[in-house]
Structure 1
Amino acid sequence: MINIRNIAQSFRSNFSYLVSIIIIFYLVGFTGLTMPSTRPFFIHLTPFALLLSSLVVGLFHSKFSAKTILIFVFIYAASFMVELIGVNTGSIFGHYSYGHGLGIKLFNTPLIIGLNWLLLVYVSNSIMELSNWPLILKIVGASFLLLAYDLLLEQVAPQLAMWSFSEHTVPVQNYVAWFVLALLFSLLIKLLKINTKNRIAPVVFGIQIFFFIAILLTLN
């Protein structure tokens, strides 16, 4: 029988080694995505990259209590439903559609998108935990981090077949919706005292930022 705690502890005790593996993983992904001959294959691997990133962050989470799991499930389900309504009506983020880059869809909405929201909300709040700011500033700061992440991601999402807007420009309402959702989810995490202190979460966030910047500079 696999002992999850022992596996998690093994990863935690080899932090530098794990960070090196993550960096290599994203470097391989970057190389594959920037080569026309391998780009289609690596685009299909995007959901697995999100799953792996989430798994790594999860292994460094302090404790999965029933309350924590319930909140995580809620954030996944709520964000998925918002995206589902948004992509089918255009009333939340604007008129956009998902490509094949995020994998299996349900009602035109990738199943992985809820996990992506959960990961981003978690890591942004984890970064804010590194500061000594008052609670309200941590919530707002985490929301602005997600907004900054989206500002970057929107520039590369169409090229990676994630999603694209019908107007070919990202409407302001998309960024407003991202910020409001990030604010609500971050507020929920703080009010219910979900512990997001996580040693590797800021590292994963930083690597993804550099990854998307590199993709943007290379493919444009």
Structure 2
Amino acid sequence: MKYLEKTGLSKIFIIVFHLVGFVGFSIPHLHDFFISVVPFHLLLMAAILLMNQRDFSKNFWMGLVFIYLAGYGVEVVGVATGAIFGSYNYGETLGLKLAQVPLLIGVNWVILIFCVGAVLKKYFKHQRNIKSMLAALILVFIDFLIEPVAIKFDYWSWTDLFVPLQNYVAWYIVAFILMRVYYEIDFKKSNPVAMTLLISQVLFFIGLNVTAV
């Protein structure tokens, strides 16, 4: 019963926070406040995802740390060189930076990889390459939705003022590698709020693409 209560409350929190965020980002005079709480929103979603994780084994923590460091590391190289995603720079919305990259960007990678990974875990059970390829496609689609919103609200900006094709190709490759590692590490990948969080994020960015961009 306690488990069901925690899961149910977690799903309600996820939906409500995304709805409130959507309203806030859709109303111009509320932009500054809602932009200021973006880092706290990301941390809250990561905490809710973590609270509902069913496996806290050594392998789980290894996977989480690897995804965080790899996701953050590739962004550091990307910003410094422009050779991975194209030429871009992070704004102030995502908070504290190290090497010109917000520390929270690794958290964002963790949320995306663990959500998509948990949702797809029961499909193509013994075909990890196919599962990782599909997951990478989903992640590229999510990035496609995020880009216009991120540019408008100073998450990051592109030097040439448009998103290069290189970004989506690199996103697919990086996402595939991270998903492949995720599925290779042996831990229980079930998470009862992963689907709710993933759908809420997708609908949030679709809505903002329609109303605020």
Is the structural similarity TM-score above 0.5? yes
Hey, what does 1:159 align to over in structure 2? 152
Deviation, 1:140, is: 1.2
Residues 38 and 73 of structure 1, relative CA distance in 2, 3 Å threshold: same
Q: Is 1:143 the counterpart of 2:136 in the alignment?
A: yes
Deviation, 1:101, is: 0.9
Hey, what does 2:27 align to over in structure 1? 35
Q: Is 1:173 the counterpart of 2:166 in the alignment?
A: yes
How is 1:43-192 mapped onto 2 (pairs within 5 angstroms)? 43-132=35-124, 134-192=127-185
Decide which moves more: 154-163 or 124-133. Answer: 124-133
Counterpart residue type for residue 21 of structure 1 = F
Distance in 1 between the 2:51 and 2:98 partners? 28
Q: Deviations over 1:158-199 (max 9, x none)?
A: 112111111111111111111111111111111222332211
Instruction: Check whether the contact 2:55–2:187 (CA below 8 A) recurs between aligned residues.
Output: no
Unpaired segments of 5 or more residues in structure 1?
1-8
Hey, what does 1:4 align to over in structure 2? none
How much identity, in percent, do the aligned residues show?
34
**Which of 1 and 2 has higher RCO (CA within 8 Å, sep 6+)?**
2
Question: SS at the partner of 1:157?
Answer: helix
Deviation, 1:99, is: 0.9
Counterpart residue type for residue 88 of structure 1 = A
Deviation, 1:132, is: 4.7
Q: How many correspondences in the alignment? A: 212
Residues 193 and 216 of structure 1, relative CA distance in 2, 3 Å threshold: same
When the two structures are superposed, what TM-score results if normalisation uses the length of structure 2?
0.93
Q: Deviations over 1:24-53 (max 9, x none)?
A: 111111111122221011111111111111
Distance in 1 between the 2:98 and 2:3 partners? 34
Question: SS at the partner of 2:84?
Answer: coil
Instruction: Check whether the contact 2:39–2:104 (CA below 8 A) recurs between aligned residues.
Output: yes
Question: SS at the partner of 2:62?
Answer: helix
Question: SS at the partner of 2:89?
Answer: strand
Distance in 1 between the 2:4 and 2:108 partners? 23
Instruction: Check whether the contact 1:62–1:195 (CA below 8 A) recurs between aligned residues.
Output: yes
Residues 37 and 93 of structure 1, relative CA distance in 2, 3 Å threshold: same
Superposition CA RMSD, Å: 1.6
Decide which moves more: 98-107 or 21-30. Answer: 21-30
Unpaired segments of 5 or more residues in structure 2?
none
Instruction: Check whether the contact 1:44–1:100 (CA below 8 A) recurs between aligned residues.
Output: no
Question: SS at the partner of 1:97?
Answer: strand
Instruction: Check whether the contact 1:127–1:142 (CA below 8 A) recurs between aligned residues.
Output: no
